[in-house]
Amino acid sequence: MKVYQTSEIRNLALIGNAGSGKTTLSEALLFEGGVISRRGDIDSKNTVSDNHEIEHEKGSSVYANPLYAEFNNHKINFIDTPGADDFTGAAISSLSVADCSLMLINAQNGVEVGTETLMRYTEKHNKPVILVANQIDHEKSNFDKVVESAREAFGGKTIVAQYPLNEGEGFDTVVDVIKQVCIKFPNGGGKPEETPIPDAEKEKAEGYYAELIEIAAEADESLMEVFFENDTLTVDQLRQGLKKGLAQRGIFPIFCTSAKHIQGTQRLMEFVINIAPSPAEAPAYKTSEGAEIQCDPNGKPLVYIFKTFTEQHLGEIYYFRVISGKITESIDLINHNTRSKERLSQIFAVAGKNRTKLSQMNAGDIGATVKLKDTKIFNTLADKDFDDTIVPVVLPAPKYRAAIKTLDEADDEKLGEMLTRLHQEDPSLIVEYSKELKQIILSGQGEYHLNIAKWLLEHLYKIPTEYISPKIPYRETITKMASANYRHKKQSGGSGQFGEVYLIVEPHDDDAPEKKKFKVEGKEMVLSIRGTEEHELPWGGKLVFNNCIVGGAIDARFLPAILKGLMEKLENGPLTGSYARDIRVYIYDGKMHQVDSNEISFKLAGAKAFSEAFKKAGPKILEPIYEVEVMVPSDRMGDVMSDLQGRRAMILGMSSEGRYEVLKAKVPLSEMNKYSTALSSLTNGRANYTMKFGEYSLVPPDIQEKLQTTYDAEQEED
């Protein structure tokens, strides 16, 4: 295999809703690009892309798979991404190293909710988009629906570059608007045949061509002047306008393919080579310090790891893009995330499990290496003078969570190791070892996402596990002032234990003025604050600790022990054992014993006094509230809204986006368990959602009572 120059490389991400045919198109591109001599298919479980056991089991893509094709003296790197919303993280990681995206649209369905979601990610990452209407050969194919739904969703930038002449079963010919010819594709791939456009189609083709000319002219002021003067553009000018417009996301051209019969793929690759940006023409990569790194083949070597995967009998594989410079076999680089030295002993061009060993790769190319010592996904490798890192990908927040446990406690340690490995391969799968909840919480993009993780644990790593309902990280706080005192006294021969603490608690609010006057047991009391410590709590909120001791009632050396006792109570709240937060404490009096007082005595006295005061101070339980955004077809809006209201949601508003309605709400986390499954059932899989933490809010009284009763019962059992 030749070493391709930067100008000869194109990098694509194949994205699209589940069922749009990305894996089948990948096989067609591999076949037309000479990488394979015989196509596989999903039913036979022998595709190059979907080569993992779990993908054979489920019949769909789970991982993003880097592939390549060689065509017209160019190398086209493309990444086949999963279409299921549960694996959006893989699509986003792939977009980070692609210079253009092929958005596949199922010709039977038109633009689907997943299509629109992925389109928003291409916008966020500023990636050009080529729309591909796939499965044009299906009996229910409806190209007009594809165009209509695409224009409704993506606006006037959507332009027809091809349309089918004989849509449906028997499809083999398109009218190519750019070339102004008919192209007939042989069944099974091969060189297509160009013929004149039939008279009956000329008016339609010319209409689309006029639209194409106009939108291409809009991409460049000089072309717009030519267009106004001549009312048209030359072929070279049209290509110039298309190239610039595509790069600016000002044009979304639609092409037609039947990936199943390898029809339309050669013309698609030709367009990609001619019009899609090369790595050198794509936007620069940004570093954590704000610098921009251009794709310069003459620059210093810099490599970005965008995917890792563990393959049996080989170990960990690291997939990378060469951001700048060139890399050679056995090059030594520094991992600037870990500051460790790494040697790329071998470099490969990859197509699934097919790896072609190379001696060199140039800026812009995508490849893989093995046997790195201390490198993870989203790490940056460069020479010692670089001293920066590429900004890592921001993945969507998780929206489905479950607690996981082994069926055999002997597997607990192994489970931790394997969960860490799964997270490294898929960073959108979040593993949290919650000290607060005493559970291992696994969070991902949906129930299917977590079920795949469970399958991998059980089938690959032989760790039987089960999911149980995750506990909710409630918080406890107070709503009014209260006071309490406690004397700890213990005598058991020799030195005993003695400590007495008087304290006041009240709610803390950053904006509220600090009080000095209090009414304790019917008497007015004025405190003199001698010292204040503010402690930001690891779980959120504050503890404000005020020393109001006068006259040496408690020696200053015992105050840290009292604070330690308070902190322990905050970690195990008096109501439900949840973390407590946002409390001011005033230590204003106490007693000591010359011999028996010590730190443990005042720690226990402070903790007991705090607990008593807390329970008298209008204690309340807070629950985590999440901001939820649901994208739903308008005909299902009523069902979705009713379901959310049944989950104690506060509806914030609605808006339209393309053919979908966007519903925004605040919903308690406790009500979101298995919401992705319920939403799919309500909308036949046509809706999706995102959620992120918003705030803590008081739980309703009936729920607080239930939570306290449950906790008290558990304490009695223990």
C-alpha distances (whole Å) from 467 to each of 290, 407, 441 are 42, 10, 10
What is the mean pLDDT of the segment spanning 26-32? Answer: 96
Question: What's the mean pLDDT when you consider all of the chain?
Answer: 93
Question: How far is the C-alpha of 484 from the C-alpha of 615, rounded, in Å?
Answer: 10
Give dist(CA 115, CA 127) in Å, integer: 15
Q: 560 is written with which tokens?
A: 């840290």
Instruction: For residues 622 and 607, give the distance between their C-alpha atoms in angstroms, rounded to a whole number.
Output: 22
Q: What is the mean pLDDT of residues 197-213?
A: 95
Residue 493 above 80 pLDDT?
A: no
Residue 507, strand partner residues = 583
pLDDT at 523: 87
Distance CA 365, CA 382 (A): 15
Q: Which of the 8 DSSP states describes residue 278?
A: P
Write down the residue that tokens 């100008």 correspond to.
Answer: 7
Q: What is the 3-state secondary structure (H, E, C) of 226-238?
A: HHHHHCCCCHHHH
What is the model's pLDDT at position 596? Answer: 87
- Check whether 211 has a pLDDT greater than 80: yes
Structure tokens at 71: 């065509």
In the block, which residue shows the tokens 């417009």? Answer: 245
365-418: per-residue pLDDT in tens? 999 999 999 999 999 999 988 989 999 999 998 989 999 999 999 999 999 999
Burial class (CB in 10 A: 0-12, 13-18, 19+), 307: buried
For residues 501 and 590, is the Cβ–Cβ distance under 8 A? yes
Cα 42 to Cα 35, 45, 52, distances in angstroms:
18, 5, 12
Contact 42, 23 (CB under 8 A): yes
Handedness of CA 42, 43, 48, 51 (dihedral sign): positive
CA dihedral 670, 676, 679, 684 (to 10 degrees): -160
Give dist(CA 412, CA 451) in Å, integer: 19
**What amino acid occupies position 355?**
R
**What domains, with CATH codes, occur in the chain?**
6-281 (3.40.50.300), 285-382 (2.40.30.10), 400-471 (3.30.70.870), 479-611 (3.30.230.10), 621-703 (3.30.70.240)
540/527 Cα distance (integer angstroms): 28
Please give the biggest Cα pair distance in the chain.
112
pLDDT score recorded for residue 15: 97
Distance (Å, whole) CA 526 – CA 544: 18
Cα separation, 271 vs 289, in Å, equals 36
Does position 313 have pLDDT exceeding 80, yes or no? no
DSSP-based three-state secondary structure for 443: strand
The rounded distance, in Å, linking the Cα atoms of 258 and 361 is: 33
Runs of H (alpha helix) within 248-301? 265-275
Q: How far is CA 673 from CA 429, 669, 670, 676, in A?
A: 17, 7, 6, 8
User: What is the predicted pLDDT for the residue at 363?
Assistant: 97
The residues pairing with 466 across neighbouring beta strands, listed in sequence order, are: 405
pLDDT in tens, 592-637: 988 888 999 999 999 999 999 999 999 999 999 999 999 998 889 9
Q: For residues 248 and 250, what is the distance between their CA atoms, to the nearest angstrom?
A: 5
175: Cβ–Cβ under 8 A, 6 or more apart, which residues? 162, 163, 164, 165, 181, 182, 197, 201, 204, 205
- Quick: pLDDT tens for 282-298: 999 999 999 999 999 99
Render pLDDT for 78-91 as a digit per residue (tens, 0 to 9): 999 999 999 999 99
Lookup: tokens for 75: 């190398």
In 312-399, the DSSP E strands lie at: 315-324, 326-328, 331-335, 340-344, 347-351, 354-358, 360-362, 366-370, 380-382
Dihedral sign for Cα atoms in the order 294, 295, 301, 302:
positive
Retrieve residue 501's tokens: 């603490």
Please state the pTM of the whole predicted model. Answer: 0.87
How open is the CA angle 403-404-407, to the nearest 5 degrees?
A: 140
Residues 101-123: tens digit of each pLDDT: 999 999 999 999 899 999 999 99
Mean per-residue pLDDT, 643-651: 96
Identify the pLDDT of residue 718: 63
Q: Tell me the average pLDDT across 197-220.
A: 94
The tokens for 275 are 């019009």
658-703 pLDDT per residue, tens? 778 999 999 999 999 889 889 989 998 888 899 999 999 999 999 9
